[in-house]
Structure formats: C-alpha cells, structure tokens
Amino acid sequence: MNQLSESVKFNAFMQRDTNFDGVFITGVRTTGIFCKPSCTARKPLKKNIEFFDDTAGALQAGYRPCKRCAPLINGLQIPDDIKVLLAAVEKEPEKRWKDWQLREMGLQPSKVRRWFQKNYAMTFHGYSRLRRLGQAMQHIKLGDNITKSMDYSGYESESGFRTAFKKYFGNAPGQVPEQNPMYVNRISTPLGPMLICANDDGLHLLEFVDRRMLETQIKRVAKYSKCFFVPGEHKVMQQVETQLQAYFKGDLKEFDLPIELLGTDFQKQVWNALLDIPFGETRSYAQQAENIGNPKAVRAVGTANGDNRFAIVVPCHRVIGANGKLTGYGGGLWRKEKLLEIEKNT
C-alpha cells in the first residue's frame, strides 16, 4: 500500500504526471471508469474521484478501465491475443469465462493464467470475476435499489448477484438466520442516495453511498449487532425517509428515530453530545470535548465524529474548526456546507 497523501495523488492526477503511472489508480464516480494519473481525458471534480493502490482495487470497487489511457496496460507489452481477450471481457463484463472458451479463441488457459498472474497478480478468472462482481457493487454504490441490482448486473440468475452481495455485506442476500436480520436498502435525498440498515431494534446505519468508509461502517454494524444483512424494506426505513423529507423541506428540526448507538463508551458519549447540539448551531471540536468533560480529547472527539454511522440524524456536520472553517466530514465538505446552509435558512 503506497503512503502518498490524497493531496499528492490529486495534484499528480490533475497535472497528468506520468511519473505516478503505476503508483496509484484514480476512479471517477460519475463515469464509473478508472484511469492512470497521466490520463489525458477531461478531469472531473475532486468530490467525484477516489484513489486505489492498484487496478485490482478499482476493479473490485466496480470501476471499468478507461479506453483512452488503458490503465491495465501501463507500459506493458501486451500480446495481441491477450489484447483481444481483454477487449472481449470489456464487451461482456458479466460473462463467466470457461477454459474451453479460451481455447476456442486460440488461447491456452495455462499460458493466459501465467500471464495474468505475472502482470496483474491474479489469474484471468480472478480478473474476470472482479469485473463481474464489481459491476453489481457499483450499482449498489451508485444508489440502485439493492433488491433490483441483479436486474442491472447482467447475471443470468441470482447466483452472481448473491455472490456480489455477499462480498459487500458479508453474507448472501437470502441468508436469514435465527438472529434478527438487518434489512438493507437505499433512500434518495437531495444530496444524493443513502444506504440504510435497520431492523426491529432500530436504525443501525444511514450513510451516503459514495462515502469512502462505507464498507468499514457496514463491517462495524455486523460486528456490534451480530447480524446478517438482507435486502428489503422495514418500518424504521419508512420513518427515516419521512423525517428526512421533512428536514430537507425545512419542516423538521429534530429527528425522532430509534437509533442504535453501538460503539465504545467514549464513542457513545461523543455521539450523544452531537445530539445535544441545537438545530442551526455549530460547535468546535474543542467545545465538544469540553461538553463531554474531557477537554484534552479534541483529537479523539474528531475520530469519534468520523466514526458516526448516522449522517444528518446524528449531526456531526454541526462540528466545525475552531477558526470557523469546515473540516472533516465523511460525506464530503460540500454536503456539510449544504446541510449547515439548510439549517441556517430554516
């Protein structure tokens, strides 16, 4: 894993610096493609990109390779027959490749396997699997209704989508254990789609689908609630959606939802302090530390805010820098600014 900062990567990408080719990969959320740093295509807004250490990470996240800069090549001398194979995968990314199909193309499966292992650190079947599973993951992350994602993923049956769902949430979507299942879906908001997890115990997760830490937050929900995820609706989700609509219309200033604040004692203390910040007001991280009786824990308070799994309803967006500047928001500073603007104008 490279140790370059986000700012260094962003500057290199914007400057099309060829020195960083092979060092990291850039994914563009709005187009669903990934590029080399030196790509000559039109550069997207900063909020619409994310970085990966390698092409495998970008593929797993659901991105497809850019046709202009060909990031999978990256200086490699790719044999003509492998180029034909890569083009075939991109034409039908949902296809499940078999060795006999490679032989029909005049390719030896063992030779193909060795070439991919040497140059991409994975087998060809591993590569095509990432393209296939990543496609379903991208639909989920872009906000398609999870229960309908199979229709868009190109699978001939549910098995492919079930595998993709399991890769993202840790279990297959039809797996309903004896424990209380955790229902997963997405809801639409004026600031973009949000992923929501809820069950009979209450709301466990509400986050923007493009948040970088979303996978980590899902794992934490599974850890604390000992749950299995299943796609579907739940009455708590309906409550959340109704209250969010009222919030964005300016008709609601305080949420009344059954929130499951599962975490360490310190985290719960910080999150409860967030709930005490009045609508339309802000606090600094130092003020928040003082409010919990631990004025030296400013940095720890900031970390706990970042671990908040309930965007908007547990208002970590109301915590700003001591100098009044907006800092640190998992959903993006542009959303933080919009939320504060909404509350100021209500």
In this structure, what CATH number is given to the domain that contains residue 61?
Answer: 3.40.10.10
How far, rounded to the nearest angstrom, does the alpha carbon of residue 270 sit from its chain's CA centroid? 24
Summarised one tens digit per residue, pLDDT across range 10-31 is: 999 999 998 888 889 998 877 7
Task: State which of 110, 138, 171 marks the end of a domain.
Answer: 171
Q: In sequence order, what are the residues at sequence separation of 6 or more whose Cβ sits closer than 8 angstroms to the Cβ of residue 338?
A: 191
Are β-strands 194-199 and 25-28 bridged in parallel, bridged antiparallel, or unpaired? unpaired
Are 211 and 323 contained in the same domain?
yes
Are 115 and 256 contained in the same domain?
no
> What pTM was estimated for this model as a whole?
0.58
pLDDT computed for residue 157 by the predictor:
39
Q: Give which of 71, 99, 68 is closest to 85, Cα–Cα.
A: 99
Are 186 and 118 contained in the same domain?
no
Report the alpha-carbon distance of residue 61 to residue 69 in Å, rounded. Answer: 19
Are 70 and 81 contained in the same domain?
no
Which element (helix H / strand E) includes 185?
Answer: strand 182-187
Q: Active-site residues: which are they?
A: 316
The DSSP code for 43 is P
Report the alpha-carbon distance of residue 4 to residue 145 in Å, rounded. Answer: 35
Report the alpha-carbon distance of residue 131 to residue 143 in Å, rounded. Answer: 19
Q: Give which of 178, 177, 183 is closest to 203, Cα–Cα.
A: 183
In this structure, what CATH number is given to the domain that contains residue 136?
Answer: 1.10.10.60
> What's the domain range around 147?
76-171
Mean pLDDT value across the chain:
82
Are 210 and 341 contained in the same domain?
yes
Task: State which of 55, 74, 93 marks the end of a domain.
Answer: 74
Summarised one tens digit per residue, pLDDT across range 290-330 is: 999 999 989 999 999 999 999 999 999 999 988 888 887 88
Q: In sequence order, what are the residues at sequence separation of 6 or more whose Cβ sits closer than 8 angstroms to the Cβ of residue 156?
A: none
Q: Give which of 206, 193, 190, 186 is closest to 145, Cα–Cα.
A: 186
Structure tokens at 105: 């193309």
Are 146 and 256 contained in the same domain?
no
Task: State which of 171, 202, 232 marks the end of a domain.
Answer: 171
Are 116 and 65 contained in the same domain?
no
Are 65 and 140 contained in the same domain?
no
Residues in the chain: 346
Query: Domain total for the chain?
Result: 3
